[in-house]
C-alpha cells in the first residue's frame, strides 16, 4: 500500500509527511522544498482481534499496542505542483508520474488561506482553487498521454480494450472507462478524440480511478468555520481538518519522553520532567486536541487506506484453534485486501501455490468452512486449507 502526498508548494506537505513518518523531510516556507520525493513509513490503525478473542498477539509484519494493530504503509511526499506542471512548468511531469504510482492520494491544502496556488504568501485565499488546479494538471497530463497514442488507439475497433491496455498502470476497470466516456457523450469505438474529448474523459476517469482525500492543514491557524466552508465548496471530496505541526510536535515530545501520547488520541498526559516552557506549549496543544478530538493526521492515514483506497484488514492463521501460525505466533500477520476480496484472493496474497492448490478456508472464530469465493469482512481471522506445503 502506497500513499502519495501532493499539493501546491508551501502547504505543509513535508510537515505532515514528517508527522506521519518521523522522517526529517525538508520543511521551509518557500516553494519546492521537496525536490525529490521523500519516502517513509506511516501506520494505519485498526482494533486488533486480540481483545475480542481474549488472547495476546505477537505480530510479525505489523505492530500492536493497547489492542490497536498498527499496519505499515509506504508514504511519498511528492514535490509541489504548480499551474502548468503537465506542460513541464515548476518541477515538471515527473511528479505527476509519482502521483499516478500511488494507490491512494492525499492532497494538502492550507486551511489558513495564507498561500496561493503558486505557494506564495497571501491572505484569505480560496483553497478550493488548489484542488481544482491539481485535478486539472492531472487531467492535462493524462490527456496528453492519450493524445500521444491516438494513432494506435484509432486502429482498434474496441476502444475500451485499447484504453485498458494503454492505462494498465492505473489498473482500470471496464466500468470506469465506459462510464467516463458515456457521461461526457464520447464514443469509445474506433477512438479518434480531439483535445476537448480526451481532457473530459481524463478528468472523469481520474475521479473514479484515483480519488483524492483532502487534508485541510494548518487548522490551528485557521479562522472558525473555515473547515465547514471548504467542505461545502468541495462537496465531491472527503475533507479532513488537521494540524501537521501539532502532530509532529507531539510525536517528537513523546519520543523525547516528555509526554505519553498515542497517535489519533484526543488527549495525552504530560510527564513531570517537562520544563515550564514545554508545559505551556503542551497545554496549548492539549487544549487543541480536546476541542478537535485529534490532530487529524492519523485520521488522514486511516481514511486514505480504508475509505479512499477501499481496503479491509484480514488476519491469516495456520492453526484456527490457537489463532496462530505453525510456529505458535498468535495473529502474526495482517493483510490489506480490497473490499469484496474472496478467500481465494487472500490465498493468492499468501502464495500462488497455496492458492492453486486451495481446498477451502476456515473462519477461525466460528470454525465454519468457507468456499473459495466467500467474500471476506474487515477483521476476519482466516485459515486457508490447501494441499500445498
Q: E strands along 85-178, which residues? A: 104-110
Query: Residue 18 pLDDT more than 80?
Result: yes
Q: Do 8 and 117 touch, CB atoms closer than 8 A?
A: yes
Query: Residue 349 pLDDT more than 80?
Result: yes
Q: Which CATH class is domain 2-37+78-233?
A: mainly alpha
Cα pseudo-dihedral 293, 298, 302, 305, rounded to 10: 150
Instruction: Determine the average pLDDT of the residues in 131-136.
Output: 90
Cα pseudo-dihedral 135, 136, 138, 139, rounded to 10: 110
pLDDT in tens, 100-122: 778 899 999 999 999 888 888 88
Q: Using pLDDT thresholds of 50, 70 and 90, give the confidence band for residue 38.
A: confident
Query: Residue 143 pLDDT more than 80?
Result: yes
DSSP symbol at 312 = E
Predicted pLDDT at 324: 97
- Within 13 Å and on the Cβ side, how many CA atoms surround 251? 23
Predicted pLDDT at 87: 61
CB-based contacts of 176, cutoff 8 Å, min separation 6: 205, 208, 209
Give the orientation angle of helix 195-209 with respect to helix 174-182, to 10 degrees. 130
Q: Do 333 and 359 touch, CB atoms closer than 8 A?
A: no
If one compares 237 and 80, the residue with the highest pLDDT of the two is 237
> What gap in Å lies between CA 179 and CA 204, rounded to an integer?
8
Give the orientation angle of helix 13-21 with respect to helix 244-255, to 10 degrees. 30
Q: Do 286 and 253 touch, CB atoms closer than 8 A?
A: no
DSSP symbol at 44 = E
Predicted pLDDT at 8: 82
Instruction: Determine the average pLDDT of the residues in 15-39.
Output: 62
Predicted pLDDT at 84: 65
316 vs 23, 228, 274, 383, CA distance in Å?
A: 31, 41, 43, 6
Q: Return the SS3 of 214.
A: strand
Residue 193 has which C-alpha cell? 478524440
Instruction: Determine the average pLDDT of the residues in 276-286.
Output: 96
Query: Residue 25 pLDDT more than 50?
Result: no
- Return the closest-CA partner of residue 116 out of 125, 107, 108: 125
**Does the domain spanning 311-386 belong to CATH 3.30.70.60?**
no
Query: Residue 204 pLDDT more than 80?
Result: yes
Q: What pTM was estimated for this model as a whole?
A: 0.88
The three-point CA angle 327-44-108 to 5° equals: 155
Tell me the Cα Rg of the chain: 23
Query: Residue 132 pLDDT more than 80?
Result: yes
Residues of the chain with CATH 3.10.20.30: 311-386
Residues of the chain with CATH 1.10.8.470: 2-37+78-233
CB-based contacts of 98, cutoff 8 Å, min separation 6: 4, 37, 76, 78
Amino acid at each position: 500500500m502506497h500513499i502519495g502526498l501532493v499539493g501546491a508548494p508551501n502547504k505543509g506537505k513535508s510537515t505532515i509527511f514528517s508527522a506521519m513518518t518521523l522522517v526529517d523531510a525538508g520543511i521551509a516556507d518557500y516553494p519546492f522544498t521537496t525536490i525529490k520525493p521523500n519516502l517513509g513509513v506511516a501506520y494505519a490503525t485498526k482494533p486488533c482481534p486480540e481483545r475480542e478473542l481474549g488472547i495476546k498477539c505477537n505480530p510479525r509484519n505489523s505492530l500492536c499496542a493497547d489492542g490497536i494493530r498498527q499496519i505499515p504503509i509506504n508514504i511519498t511526499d511528492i514535490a509541489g505542483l504548480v499551474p502548468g506542471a503537465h506542460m513541464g512548468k515548476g518541477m515538471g511531469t515527473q511528479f505527476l508520474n509519482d502521483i499516478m504510482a500511488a494507490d491512494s492520494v492525499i492532497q494538502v491544502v492550507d486551511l489558513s488561506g495564507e498561500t496561493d496556488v503558486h505557494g506564495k504568501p497571501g491572505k484569505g485565499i480560496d483553497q478550493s482553487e488548489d484542488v481544482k488546479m491539481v485535478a486539472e494538471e492531472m487531467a492535462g497530463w493524462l490527456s496528453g498521454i492519450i493524445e500521444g497514442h491516438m494513432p494506435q488507439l484509432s486502429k482498434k475497433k474496441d476502444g475500451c480494450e485499447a484504453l485498458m491496455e494503454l492505462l494498465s498502470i492505473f489498473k482500470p476497470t471496464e466500468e470506469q472507462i465506459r462510464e467516463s466516456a458515456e457521461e461526457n457523450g464520447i464514443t469509445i469505438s474506433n477512438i479518434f478524440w480531439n483535445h476537448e474529448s480526451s481532457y473530459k474523459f481524463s478528468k472523469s476517469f481520474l475521479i473514479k480511478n484515483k480519488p483524492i482525500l483532502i487534508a485541510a492543514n494548518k487548522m490551528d491557524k485557521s479562522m472558525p468555520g473555515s473547515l465547514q466552508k471548504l467542505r461545502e465548496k468541495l462537496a465531491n471530496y472527503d475533507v479532513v481538518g488537521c494540524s501537521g505541526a501539532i502532530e509532529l510536535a507531539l510525536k517528537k515530545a513523546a519520543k523525547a519522553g516528555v509526554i505519553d501520547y498515542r497517535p489519533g488520541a484526543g488527549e495525552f498526559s504530560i510527564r513531570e520532567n517537562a520544563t515550564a516552557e514545554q508545559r505551556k506549549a503542551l497545554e496549548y496543544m492539549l487544549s487543541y486536541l480536546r476541542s478537535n478530538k485529534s490532530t487529524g493526521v492519523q485520521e488522514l492515514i486511516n481514511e486514505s487506506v480504508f475509505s479512499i483506497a477501499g481496503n479491509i484488514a484480514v488476519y491469516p492463521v495456520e492453526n484456527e484453534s490457537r489463532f496462530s501460525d505453525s510456529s505458535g505466533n498468535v495473529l502474526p500477520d495482517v493483510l490489506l485486501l480490497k473490499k469484496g476480496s474472496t478467500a481465494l484472493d487472500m490465498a493468492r496474497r499468501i502464495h500462488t501455490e497455496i492458492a492453486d492448490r486451495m481446498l477451502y478456508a476456515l473462519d477461525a472464530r466460528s470454525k465454519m468452512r468457507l468456499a473459495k469465493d466467500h467474500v471476506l469482512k474487515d477483521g476476519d481471522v482466516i485459515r486457508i486449507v490447501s494441499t500445498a506445503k
